[in-house]
Amino acid sequence: MAQEIEFNLNGEQITCAVEPPTLLVDLLRDRFGLAGIHVACETSRCGSCVIHIDGRSVKSCIILAVEVDGCSVMTIEGLADGERLHPLQTAFGDCGGRQCGFCTPGMVMSALDLLQHNRDPDESEIREWMEGNICHCMGYHNIVGAVQAAASELQADTEV
Amino acid sequence: MHAFEYQHAETIEGAAEFLTQDNKAQLLAGGMTLLPALKSSLVAPTALIDLKGLIELKGACVDGDALVIGALTTHVEVAESEVINSAIPALTRLAANIGDAQVRNRGTLGGSLASNDPSADYPAAVLGLEAVIRTNRRDIPAAEFFTGKFETALQTDEIILAVRFPIPEQAAYVKFPNPASHFAIVGVMVVRDARGPRIAVTGASACVFRARELEDALRTDFNEHALDGLKFHREDLIDDLYATAEYRAHLVMAMARRAVAMASTRG
């Protein structure tokens, strides 16, 4: 039986009815058209579907939609400030961290969680943190560089 | 996924009552074991009772000579807890290395124990520290809790509320992780307190176990070199594509030596 849930999605308050077995990733992509959440492995290994719930990164393919009742959900679509991209989004482009682009939204959302809890991670901390995100282009080097560049940019922003 | 009902638990008693009435219902905490199992139809509950709203089951405090951690405390909360790090730093290090960041953001202590995955990290800590699992019905000593592969002493209407860890003099957990999943191919918890040394091993067999012969070797000399020359042997070691039984036996010794060395230097 469908259940009504209420949650905040990228700043907007949402009420909708979902069947309990509906996965969060399917609700967000199919009902709300948030196709920036990518689906690859569907086994919680690859990290393409990473979003934030209440400020922490999670894999939306192993969370039920009903579980976010009362929560705050942010996807890659909610990251930019209007037309102004978030420093992480800019850095992935500038540093060649995007390659084919498929893993990028998940990578960015994972890295955002890291930078929100550790402003100045070193390379090994970034690599360890990003373990749950797989890049099939194997372009990890530039991805790590992009996270470092974004960390510097964000620190410069707060110092101004 | 097959159809099931979903309910938020309002109280522990209410959740237990639901389980009594429907023995095919299942509890949901972080869901990091349950959701993959549901998706691959390994389990087919009639209903899920979501415990996440029971915030009284979150958090940690020191109570006398023990550290008490609520069942719904997530791995990241354990990893970042000053209270836990001051009392038993081995637990914060263990939690910080479970799975990946997204699993740690969601998975819980109680959920991990109730699942009793043969390769999970927490069972080694709970067994090694001789912790007590407190449920809505009773206190279960760790030695009686883990009964087999994915099996525990929990009854169908029993809910883990908290885990009481006696604070040791020294402890360390070291694992050899599967590089993809970060599950322990072998993980060893070494503990030293007034009752003597204890070693608990996860990942190596279908269920976490104590390595008594290694404990005996450490009894007179708690030093990694006290394990020199010993060979670990056990009939039921896992032999799979990740590691042969022989290699797992070798890893038990290697992880035990590292854990003893770490416990000796860092407490």
Nearest residue to B122 (alpha-carbon basis) of B156, B152, B82, B155: B152
Domain identity same for A7 and A71: yes
Q: Would you state the pLDDT for residue A26?
A: 98
Domain hosting residue A9, numbered range: 3-78
User: Which residue, among A140, A149, A58, has the nearest Cα to A98 in the 3D structure?
Assistant: A140
Q: Report the C-alpha gap between B121 and B189 in whole angstroms.
A: 9
State how far residue B132 is from chain A, nearest Cα, in angstroms.
Answer: 30
Which of A50, A78, A106 is the last residue in one of the domains?
Answer: A78
Distance CA A109, CA B106 (A): 15
Helices A140-159 and A104-117, interaxial angle, to 10°? 40
Q: What does DSSP assign to residue B176?
A: E
Joined together, the tokens standing for residue B190 give: 């070494």
What is the CA A65 to chain-centroid distance, rounded? 16
CB atoms within 10 A of CB A77: 17
Is the same domain home to A38 and A92? Answer: no
Q: CA–CA separation, B216 vs B218, rounded Å?
A: 5
**Would you call B8 an interface residue with chain A, using a CB distance cutoff of 8 Å?**
yes
Q: Which residues contact A101 (CB under 8 A, 6 or more apart)?
A: none
Q: What is the CATH number of the domain that holds A144?
A: 1.10.150.120
Domain annotation for chain B: domains and CATH numbers: 5-166 (3.30.465.10), 170-266 (3.30.390.50)
Q: How confident is the model at residue B49 (pLDDT cuts 50, 70, 90)?
A: very high
Indicate if the pLDDT at residue A42 is higher than 90: no
Contacts of A45 in chain B (CB under 8 A): 180-181
Kindly give the pairing relationship between strand B209-210 and strand A50-53: unpaired
What distance in Å separates residue B104's CA from the closest CA in chain A?
9
Domain boundary among A48, A78, A108: A78
pLDDT of A43 reads 87
Percent of chain A with pLDDT over 70: 99
For B214-236, what is each residue's pLDDT tens digit? 999 999 999 999 999 999 999 99
Same domain as A153, residue A103: yes
Neighbour-count burial for B182-213, b at 16+ CB within 10 Å, e otherwise: bbbbbbbbbbbbeeebbbbbbbbbebbbbbee
Q: Per-residue pLDDT for A160 more than 60?
A: no
Give A111-129 pLDDT, tens digit per residue. 999 999 999 999 999 999 9
Angle between helices A87-94 and A104-117 (to 10 degrees): 130
Q: Which of A20, A23, A131 sits opposite B182 (nearest CB)?
A: A131
CA–CA separation, A64 and A9 (whole Å): 15
pLDDT digits (tens, 9 = 90+) for A85-111: 999 999 999 999 999 999 999 999 999
A57 in contact with B, Cβ within 8 Å: yes
β-sheet with A50-53: strand ranges across: A12-18, A3-9, A72-74, A50-53, A56-59
Closest CA to B127 of B206, B189, B192: B189
Confidence of residue B112 (pLDDT cuts 50, 70, 90): very high
In order, the DSSP letters of B3-50 are: --EEEE-SSHHHHHHHHHH-TTEEEESS-TTHHHHHHTTS---SEEEE
CA dist list (Å): A121 to A124, A144, A147, B100, B179: 8, 10, 9, 16, 22
CB B67 within 8 A of CB B87: yes
Write down the ipTM of this complex.
Answer: 0.95
Residues A65 and A111 placed together within one structural domain of the fold: no
**Shared-domain flag, residues A92 and A59:** no
Backbone angles phi, psi at A7, to 5 degrees: -155, 165
Which pLDDT score, from 0 to 100, does residue A95 have? 96
Contact between chains at B5 and A1 (C-beta distance less than 8 A) = yes
The verdict on A54 and A105 lying in the same domain is: no
**A74 & A11 share domain:** yes
Q: Confirm if A121 and A146 have CB atoms less than 8 A apart.
A: no
pLDDT of A156: 87
Asked whether residue A30 falls in the same domain as residue A72, the answer is yes
- Does residue A104 sit in the same domain as residue A71? no
Q: Which of A139, A140, A132 is nearest to A61 (CA)?
A: A132
Q: Could you say which of A43, A78, A113 is where a domain stops? A: A78
Q: Domains in chain A: how many in total?
A: 2
Q: What is the CATH number of the domain that holds A35?
A: 3.10.20.30
A74 and A93: one domain?
no
How far out from the chain centre does Cα B222 lie?
A: 24
Mean pLDDT of B193-209: 97
The pLDDT of A40-50, averaged and rounded, is 92
Residues of B in contact with A44 (CB under 8 A): 32, 35-36, 102-103
Q: What is the mean pLDDT of chain A?
A: 95
The mean pLDDT of chain B is: 96
Query: According to the model, what pLDDT value does residue B267 have?
Result: 52
Q: ∠B36-B140-B134 over CA atoms, to 5°?
A: 75
* Shortest alpha-carbon distance between residue B53 and chain A (Å): 10
* Same domain for A147 and A97: yes
Q: How far apart are CA B185 and CA B203, in angstroms?
A: 5
Label residue B101 exposed, middle or buried (CB < 10 Å: 0-12, 13-18, 19+). buried
Name the pLDDT band for A158 (thresholds 50, 70, 90).
Answer: confident
Residues of B whose CB is below 8 A from A107 = none
Per-residue pLDDT at B266: 63
Same domain assignment for residues A74 and A122 = no
Higher pLDDT, B180 or A55: A55
